[in-house]
Amino acid sequence: MPNAIVTGATSGIGNAIALKLLSLGYTVKGIARSKPSITHTSYCHTQLDLLDTHALEHFCKEQVDVDVLINAAGIGLFKELDYFTTQEITTLLDTNLKAPLLLTNLLTSKLKRNQGTIINISSIEATKHSRLSTIYTATKSALQAFSLTLFEEIRKSGVKVSNINPDITDTAFFDTLSFKPTDDKTTHLIPEQIADAVEYILSDNNRVITDMTIRPQRFALEKVKRK
């Protein structure tokens, strides 16, 4: 059985990808701060805060065989730059960028041994420039650039690197934000569509999809009032 590590496996896109990989016969090691939301004999959960670099190093040292690494965990915060605190900027950078870079760094030699695949979940925001998204866009564009650069560096080792840029996807990502997807299904994706993209990326060993953008047909968002 091939082995996959999936960050953010408790919710949304990471959860759908973990379930997809289990259905494809992978053994999945999921990472998140909360308890597992998946019960499957081939699923093993590690409760870990990706901001804890010592815990990350310890987790990676324990891994022997790694075929697929999915960096899906991430958070969003959208407001004018001068309203961000230093702590908020640090947390966004550390969660969305530093953690996937460190995990990839710590697991690359193991992925090389198995000619494995790294898939990073970036965002549509890496491909455009939206108001109120300065820090989030900075983290996601950097993750996209990291993915494309890493592929050039390690393609000769047989490791594949793919970056996915999902547009608005209906998940808990919006639970604390001042906007959310509308009820109109044509204006947002669902996490299973990103998981289908992962299946497609993994389906052929003789080509590499380096960068994939997935969008709903229409654009609409609903404003949400929060205290």
Ligand X SMILES: NC(=O)c1ccc[n+]([C@@H]2O[C@H](COP(=O)([O-])OP(=O)(O)OC[C@H]3O[C@@H](n4cnc5c(N)ncnc54)[C@H](OP(=O)(O)O)[C@@H]3O)[C@@H](O)[C@H]2O)c1
Contact 33, 80 (CB under 8 A): no
Q: How far apart are CA 128 and CA 136, in angstroms?
A: 12
Contact 74, 8 (CB under 8 A): yes
CB neighbour class for 99 (10 Å; exposed up to 12, middle 13-18, buried from 19): buried
Q: Per CB under 6 A, which of residues 166..205 are in contact with ligand X?
A: 166, 168-169, 171-173
Name which position in 3, 5, 10, 162 contacts ligand X (CB under 6 A).
10
Q: Is 12 a residue that touches ligand X (CB under 6 A)?
A: yes
CB of 204 to ligand X, least distance (A): 24
Name which position in 75, 106, 190, 209 contacts ligand X (CB under 6 A).
75
Name which position in 19, 21, 28, 121 contacts ligand X (CB under 6 A).
121
Q: Which stretch binds ligand X (CB under 6 A): 12-20, 38-46, 149-157, 219-227?
A: 12-20
Applying CB under 6 A, the site for ligand X has a residue count of 28
Q: Is 100 a residue that touches ligand X (CB under 6 A)?
A: no
- Residue 197 to residues 121, 122, 127, 159, 203: CA-CA distances in angstroms? 11, 13, 18, 18, 10
> 47 has which bridge partners?
32
Q: Which stretch binds ligand X (CB under 6 A): 102-110, 120-128, 147-155, 195-203?
A: 120-128
Q: Which residues contact 69 (CB under 8 A, 6 or more apart)?
A: 4, 5, 103, 104, 107, 111, 116, 117, 118, 119
Q: How far apart are CA 179 and CA 199, in angstroms?
A: 30
Q: Is 50 a residue that touches ligand X (CB under 6 A)?
A: yes
**Residue 60 carries which DSSP code?**
H
Q: Which of 161, 172, 59, 66 is nearest to 120 (CA)?
A: 161
Q: How far apart are CA 144 and CA 13, in angstroms?
A: 17
CB of 15 to ligand X, least distance (A): 7
Q: Is 32 a residue that touches ligand X (CB under 6 A)?
A: yes
Nearer to ligand X, 190 or 206 (CB): 190
CB of 154 to ligand X, least distance (A): 22
Q: Is 144 a residue that touches ligand X (CB under 6 A)?
A: no
CB of 56 to ligand X, least distance (A): 9
Task: State the residues that interact with ligand X by CB under 6 A.
Answer: 8, 10-14, 31-34, 49-51, 72-76, 95, 121, 123-124, 166, 168-169, 171-173
